Structure 1
Amino acid sequence: MLMSGTELARAIVQRAAEKAADYTRRTGAKPCLATVIVGEDPASVTYVRMKQNRCHKAGIESRHVALPERTTTEELVAQIRELSDDPAVHGILLQHPVPHHIDERAAFEAIAPHKDVDGVTMHSFAGMSFGHNDFLSCTPGGIMRLLDAHDVEIAGKHAVVIGRSPILGKPAAMLLLARDATVTICHSKTVGLADVVRTADIVVAAVGKPRFVQGDWIKPGAVVVDAGYNEGNVGDVDFDAAVDHAGLITPVPGGVGPTTIAVLLEQTVDASLRQLDA
C-alpha cells in the first residue's frame, strides 16, 4: 500500500484555514509567516513559491524576504532578529540550505522560540526530546502524522532512521522514541548499514542521496518512509525495488512532502493564536 500524504495534507490545511479565519475574525489581520531565503537556489526558490501559494489558500499572509548570495551570517542573523521582534510576524521560516559561508545554526538560533514554526532551533529540539512539543520539525512532524493516519503501530517496533540531520533525522528519531519505538540512528559511518536496515519494522530514509536504500534491504512487510527529494523527482529509496518488499511505502513526490508543508501552516496558525492569547 502507498502512504500518500496528499489527502492527509489537505485535511490538515483545511483545519488550519478554519483556525486562521477565526484569528482574522478576532483581529482583522491574518496569521503571518515570514520566509527568508538567501541566494537563488532553483529548488529553494520553487519550494518557497509553493509555500507562499499554500499560505494564500489557507488564509495566511506570506511575507517573503529575499537576501543576496553574498549576505553574511551577521546580516542574516540581524534580519531574523528583526522579524522575531515584529509583532505582526507570527512564524519564521529560514529556507534550508543556506550558502556554505553562512553559519546556519547561528541563523536558526536567531529565531524566537515562539515563532519557530519550522521546529529548527535547539529549543524546539529539546521540546521534541522531552515531550513538550510546542513546535515540531515539520518533516518529522509530517512523518508522524502519516504513520498515524495509516494506523501504523509504533510502540515496541524497531525503527531505523537513516540520516542524522538536526532538522530531520535526529528529531524524527526523538519523536519515534517518544512513541515507544526502539530507535537506531544510522549515518555515513555506520558499519553494515544494509544488515541494520533489514531488522527494521519502520525505515525512515533521510540521507539525501537518490535511490540510496535498496529494495533487498527492506524486511518483508516493513513500513518505509522516504523523506528524501532529489533531482529527477526521486527519493532516497529505490522505490521500484522496495515496493515489492514493503508493507507500506511513501511515494516521491506525494508522500512526505505535502504533509511537511501542511504541518508548517498548521504551526504558523497555532503560533498566531498563542501570541494573541499570551
Structure 2
Amino acid sequence: MQSHGAQLIDGKALAQKIQAELAQQIQSLQAQYGRPPGLAVLMVGDNPASAAYVRGKEKACTNVGMASFGQHLPATTTQAELEQIIQALNHDERVDGILIQLPLPEHLDGVALLNQLDPDKDADGLHPVNLGRLVRSEPGLRSCTPAGVMELLKEYQIDPKGKHAVVIGRSILVGKPIALMLLEADATVAIAHSKTPDLASVIRNADIVVAAVGRPEMITANMVKPGAVVIDVGINRVTNAEGKSRLVGDVHFDSVKTVASAITPVPGGVGPMTVAMLLQNTVWSYIQRHQGVQQAP
C-alpha cells in the first residue's frame, strides 16, 4: 500500500469506535450510579457553523446514551446572564461536562466565562486549572482536539517517543496543548508560527508535523520530509471561481500524501475525534465525581 502514497489516518472510523465503547461503558455505569452522564453545550447567537457543530455534539450525546442539557441562547444574552447560567450548571448534580461553543458574539468575554466554569466540569479542557494540570503531567480534563490527535497516533501505532515533532500554530485551543502532550509522550517538540523565519526548513526536519494555523493548504510537499507523519488540524472553507465551496485543511493534501508515510484527511481526520474526546471527557468527569462521592468518609 505504501508505494501508492501515505496511509490514511481515519478519524471518523476511530471516533465511531470510541463512541461505541463509551455507549457500552455508560450503560453499565448508569446502572451503578443511577443516572447517565450529562453534558451541557452553551451556544449564544446563530453562527451557522457553530449551530452545525452543536447539533453534531448533541446528536453524539444521544447516540452514546448521555443526557444533554444544552442551551441555545439569543445573541443579545449578557455576560451576567451567562455567568448565572454557568453557575447553575456548576451546581447541577446531573451535569458532568459544560462546554461554551466558540466563537461568542463580540460583546461577550469568552475567557472570563471560561474561568467561571467548575474546572472539573470543563469538558473542553481549557480552564487554566486543567491547562496547569497538563503542564504538570497531572490527571485532568484534556483539551479535546489535541487529545483526539494523540488518540489517532496511538490507534495507528505511531509512537512520538524520540521523534522530532513540529507543531505549526500556538493557540491555546490546539497548538500549545498538543505541544505539551507530544512532549509528555517523549517527543522533541518545536512550535512554529507566523513569525517563524524560514518555516519550510523547520517543518522539513519533522518526523511528525501537526498543522494548526488556519491557513488553507499552506503546507506543501516540498516542505515535508519524506516519510513524515502529517496531522492536519486546520478546517478552512475555500470557494472556487464557480462559487462552489469546500473544506480544506492547512496541508495541501494531494501533494503531501505522495511524500508522507501517514496523513489525516480534511474532513474526516481530526474533526470527528474532537467530539469523541468531548464525550470521553464528560464520562471521565462523571466517573471521577461518583468515585469521589463513594470514597468520601
TM-score range, shorter chain: over 0.9
Partner of 2:295: none
| Root mean square deviation, CA, Å | 1.3
Are residue 261 (structure 1) and residue 275 (structure 2) matched? yes
Give the superposition deviation at 1:6.
Answer: 2.0
Q: TM-score, normalised on structure 1?
A: 0.96
Which of 109, 119, 122 is the aligned partner of 2:125? 119
- Deviations for 1:109-158, whole angstroms, at most 9, x for unmatched residues? 11111111211111111111111132110100000010111111211111
1:164 to 1:24, Cα distance in 2 relative to 1, 3 A? same
Partner of 2:199: 193
Give the superposition deviation at 1:72.
Answer: 3.1
Give the superposition deviation at 1:273.
Answer: 1.9
Q: Which amino acid aligns with 2:255?
A: A
For 1:98, what is the secondary structure of its paired residue? coil
Q: Which amino acid aligns with 2:24?
A: E
Partner of 1:205: 211
Partner of 1:182: 188
Mapped to 1, the partners of 2:217 and 2:107 lie a distance apart of 29
Which of 92, 102, 120 is the aligned partner of 1:96? 102
Number of residue pairs matched by the alignment: 278
Which of 146, 149, 152 is the aligned partner of 1:140? 146
For 1:274, what is the secondary structure of its paired residue? helix
Which of 83, 87, 103 is the aligned partner of 2:93? 87
Structure of higher CA gyration radius: 2
14-23 or 115-124: bigger deviation = 14-23
Partner of 2:60: 54
Identity of counterpart residues, as a percentage?
A: 45
Mapped to 1, the partners of 2:155 and 2:72 lie a distance apart of 36
Are residue 169 (structure 1) and residue 148 (structure 2) matched? no
- Deviations for 1:252-271, whole angstroms, at most 9, x for unmatched residues? 11111121111111111121
For 1:160, what is the secondary structure of its paired residue? strand
248-257 or 68-77: bigger deviation = 68-77
Q: Which amino acid aligns with 2:253?
A: F
- Deviations for 1:80-132, whole angstroms, at most 9, x for unmatched residues? 12211111111001112222332211111111111112111111111111111
The runs of at least 4 aligned residues of structure 1 exceeding 6 Å deviation read none
Unaligned runs of 5+ in 2: 1-6, 238-245, 293-297
Contact 1:119 1:167 in 2 (8 A): no
Q: Which amino acid aligns with 2:273?
A: T
Partner of 1:21: 27
